[in-house]
């Protein structure tokens, strides 16, 4: 088989395996169907099935995704009898916010519960300078990848989140900030960016993540630009190409080590897709440019991956790429095996990367007091259908 055919076969295998972990159907216990998370075509088909013309889908889409309305009775451009008919058959759902914690630095962590009782966390991280921020969204309940420095990785994969649950995290977070158009038509926009960096590996739930991001980017709804969405992967090489071609969002790669031997340990997926292949996929990534650099995430672990030699090797690996490196001070969690590098070590590392012409900001830990910082998310969700996906 050629390389291309092999990649295609691997992609098919990943998608088929991922589908085994898909969520239960969108139907409510009373048989009503959730309209959130459907593509435009699916929404039109649902409405056509109850005798509604195509333009109705456009109206309902606008109410759901532009106005943020969850009650059919508030869809004022739709006649009252039809509002009632829709309410009998459909819902516009949101995940339940079980807890909402706000950190001393204003970072806000949501624990969302979905219809089957499974839970995932979402974090809003305000920009310390500008009046806006990023929503860090989960793509799975638990994770298969067991990265050694990551608290989520200690929680076995339970299931994928569906497109409704992925979009729903963003919409429910916007609800709490009142971020839908006011009667005067003003739309506050604090939640201006999505980072798919919460629980789970988004590229192991590609179908649902892609559908959700297409909904979020739709111009007649939430209308978030692809430039404001960053998908973070541990390096699922065959799916990186596909995400680049189909979604064109920004790419972040959890690198964390520059030698295969160490990355095999820190990010076990490296045994399947080693550094060389991950870097080749980055070089092929279609939207990478100086304006839209690939971010390499690098958690700084004392005495493990933080030497000056490793900084120089990192520079060699990313040479020629439009890239930046996010240096992440390690956020300890109960039972973690590592300790954070000292700030002077982090600064020396950053200087070497900087001097080579790459931005290397040191990420300020946010929401540590509520365990909302990078790599700290974890829920006590039940393990129902956990099987090793790898
Ligand atoms: S870093 Fe990401 S991919 Fe790795 S275990 Fe944590 S959630 Fe999973």
Distance from Cα 196 to the centre of ligand 1, integer Å: 11
> Partners of 294 in the beta sheet?
323
In ligand 1, the atom with minimum distance to the C-alpha of 267 is 4
Nearest to 176 by CA among 63, 104, 99: 99
Beta strand 133-136 pairing with 119-126? antiparallel
Q: 41 with 61: CB under 8 angstroms?
A: no
The yes-or-no verdict on residue 388 having pLDDT over 60 is no
- The mean pLDDT of 80-97, rounded to a whole number, is 95
Please give the DSSP secondary-structure letter assigned to residue 362: B
Total number of residues shown for the chain: 390
Burial 84-96 (b: 16+ CB within 10 A, else e): ebbeeebbbbbbe
More confident of the two residues 369 and 35: 35
In ligand 1, the atom with minimum distance to the C-alpha of 377 is 7
The yes-or-no verdict on residue 375 having pLDDT over 70 is no
Break the chain down into helix, strand, coil percent, rounded to 5. Answer: 40, 15, 45
CA–CA separation, 354 and 308 (whole Å)? 13
Distance from Cα 121 to the centre of ligand 1, integer Å: 13
Of the chain, the percentage scoring pLDDT greater than 70 comes to: 91
Give ligand 1 pocket residues (Cβ under 6 A): 143, 145-147, 150, 152-153, 199-201, 234, 254
The yes-or-no verdict on residue 67 having pLDDT over 90 is yes
Class of domain 3-91: mainly alpha
Beta strand 159-160 pairing with 140-141? antiparallel
Q: What is the pLDDT of residues 211-241, one digit of tens each?
A: 999 999 999 999 999 999 999 999 999 999 9
pLDDT of residue 21: 87
> Partners of 119 in the beta sheet?
113
Containing H/E element for 251? strand 250-254
Q: What is the pLDDT of residues 98-135, one digit of tens each?
A: 999 998 888 899 999 999 999 999 999 888 777 788 99
The yes-or-no verdict on residue 390 having pLDDT over 50 is no
Q: 38 with 90: CB under 8 angstroms?
A: no
Angle between helices 308-318 and 343-355 (to 10 degrees): 30
In ligand 1, the atom with minimum distance to the C-alpha of 150 is 6
The residues that are catalytic are: 121, 374
Mean of pLDDT over the chain: 89
Q: Which fold has domain 96-370?
A: TIM Barrel (3.20.20)
The yes-or-no verdict on residue 190 having pLDDT over 80 is no
CA 113 to chain centre: 17
Distance from Cα 221 to the centre of ligand 1, integer Å: 30
In ligand 1, the atom with minimum distance to the C-alpha of 153 is 5
Burial 374-383 (b: 16+ CB within 10 A, else e): bbbbbbebee
> Which segments of the chain does DSSP mark as H helices, in order?
3-19, 40-49, 54-61, 80-89, 163-176, 206-217, 237-246, 260-266, 275-284, 308-318, 343-355
Select from 200, 236, 330 the residue to mutate for testing ligand 1; criterion: most ligand atoms less than 8 Å from CB. 200
Nearest protein Cα to ligand 1, atom 4: 147
Select from 151, 234, 263 the residue to mutate for testing ligand 1; criterion: most ligand atoms less than 8 Å from CB. 234
Distance from Cα 298 to the centre of ligand 1, integer Å: 13
More confident of the two residues 8 and 266: 266
User: Phi and psi (nearest 5°) for 76?
Assistant: -70, -15
Distance from Cα 65 to the centre of ligand 1, integer Å: 29
The SS3 assignment for 42 reads helix
pLDDT of residue 376: 62
Domain locations in the chain as residue ranges:
3-91, 96-370
């Amino acid at each position: 088989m050629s390389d291309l055919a092999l990649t295609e076969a691997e992609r098919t295998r990943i998608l088929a395996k991922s589908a085994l972990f898909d969520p239960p159907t969108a139907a409510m216990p009373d048989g009503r169907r959730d309209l959130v998370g459907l593509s435009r075509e699916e929404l039109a088909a649902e409405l056509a099935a109850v005798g509604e013309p195509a333009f109705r889908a456009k109206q309902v889409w606008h109410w759901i995704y532009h106005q943020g309305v969850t009650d059919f009775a508030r869809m004022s451009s739709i006649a009252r009898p039809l509002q009632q008919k829709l309410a009998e058959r459909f819902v516009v759902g949101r995940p339940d916010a079980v807890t909402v914690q706000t950190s001393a630095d204003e970072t806000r962590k949501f624990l969302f519960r979905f219809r089957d009782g499974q839970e995932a966390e979402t974090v809003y991280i305000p920009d310390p300078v500008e009046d806006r921020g990023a929503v860090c969204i989960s793509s799975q309940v638990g994770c298969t990848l067991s990265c050694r420095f990551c608290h989520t990785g200690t929680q076995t994969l339970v299931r994928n989140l569906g497109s409704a649950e992925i979009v729903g995290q963003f919409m429910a977070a916007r609800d709490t900030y009142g971020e839908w158009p006011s009667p005067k038509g003003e739309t506050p926009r604090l939640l201006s960016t999505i980072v798919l960096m919460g629980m789970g590996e988004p590229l192991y739930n590609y179908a649902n993540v892609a559908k959700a991001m297409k909904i979020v980017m739709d111009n007649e709804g939430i209308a978030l630009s692809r430039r404001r969405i960053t998908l973070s992967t541990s390096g699922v090489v065959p799916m990186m190409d596909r995400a680049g071609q189909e979604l064109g969002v920004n790419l972040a790669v959890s690198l964390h080590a520059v030698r295969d031997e160490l990355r095999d340990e820190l990010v076990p997926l490296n045994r399947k897709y080693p550094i060389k292949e991950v870097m080749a996929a980055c070089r092929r990534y279609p939207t990478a440019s100086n304006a839209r650099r690939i971010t390499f995430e690098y958690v700084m672990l004392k005495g493990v991956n933080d030497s000056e030699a490793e900084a120089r090797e990192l520079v060699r690996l990313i040479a020629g790429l439009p890239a930046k490196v996010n240096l992440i001070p390690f956020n300890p969690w109960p039972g973690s095996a590592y300790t954070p590098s000292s700030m002077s070590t982090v600064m020396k590392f950053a200087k070497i990367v900087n001097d080579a012409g790459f931005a290397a900001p040191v990420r300020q830990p946010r929401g540590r007091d509520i365990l909302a910082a990078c790599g700290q998310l974890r829920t006590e969700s039940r393990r129902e259908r956990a099987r090793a996906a790898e």
